[in-house]
Amino acid sequence: MILPTGRKLVDSQGDPTAGTLKATASEVESRGGKCIPVQCDHSKDEEIAALFEKVKTEQNGRLDILVNNAYAAVQAISEYMGKPFWEQPLSMWDTVNNVGLRNHYMCTVYAAKMMVPRKSGLIVNISSAGGLAYLFNVAYGIGKEACDRMAADCAVELRKHNVAHVSIWPGPVITEHVDDMLKASQNAKQKQMFEGAESVEFTGKCIVSLAKDPNLMSKSGRILMTPELGREYNLVDVDGRVIDSMRQINWLLGRNPSTAWVQRWLPNFIKMPFWMFALKGSKF
């Protein structure tokens, strides 16, 4: 049973097929799954509390997986892209980190209350490489690094209860919003960044495989990249592609139009070691 949440069951014109909860439910059920869409504004504490009470009551206290992916800052980040933090409104902090961080903590607390007594469960924070080094703006990077640290620290306290908490980094993802943005964009660097990007479903496939992994607890507290999980679990994207890792040297060179021509000459197995990758975020 899947319970997707969001602010809109249908769009403003009443269309249930326009990227809304009803559309999500229809797609899940068309593939043979069961789905109960739940309208919830993740900026409102009382609606979050009611959501988990609903899950507890209707699912007999059982919650197997929580994916913290609610976010409300895409438009604001795009609008102020390139402006330094002091030229952005103070509200940028709350826009980015209320739903994108504080809400994740709240949902994790409520989920843990159900998972710990059952000694089973997986909590996933959807984060990004913005937690390692500067990306987009200051509030974004702080929020993503905090998501990663939350997973690591929560995992310490959850481990003895056999509940796992991880942070997942997708690579560039073609969401509906990104797709519309790229179609209207004349920015070559922006388009290059999303070349070969993964679909919105690839992360979901990784999470399903992760939840089935008998060695799941060995990964608890870690940052996991979707392309690396894809290779470990032999996953391909919805169009059959193997997704490239941001640790691949050819992938890194391919993000810049001036070096993209080198990409085709380098094999996929030449990767930056994790220890070297982590140096990017060193603060010592």
Q: Is 140 a catalytic residue?
A: yes
Has residue 13 got a pLDDT over 70? no
Distance in angstroms (rounded) separating the CA atoms of residues 156 and 178? 35
| Range from 26-30, 108-112, 199-203 that averages highest in pLDDT | 108-112
Band of the pLDDT at 19, cuts 50, 70, 90?
low
Selection from 68, 8, 17 nearest residue 40 by Cα: 8
Distance in angstroms (rounded) separating the CA atoms of residues 103 and 120? 22
Among the residues of 98-240, which ranges form H helices?
Answer: 103-118, 138-158, 176-184, 188-193, 200-212, 226-232
Mean pLDDT, residues 9-38 taken together: 75
Active site residue: 71, 80, 134, 140, which one? 140
- Condensed to tens digits (0 to 9), the pLDDT of residues 189-220 reads 666 677 778 998 999 999 999 999 999 999 99
- Condensed to tens digits (0 to 9), the pLDDT of residues 47-58 reads 999 999 999 999
Q: Is the dihedral of CA 213, 218, 223, 227 positive or negative?
A: negative
Band of the pLDDT at 85, cuts 50, 70, 90?
very high
Mean pLDDT, residues 109-125 taken together: 97
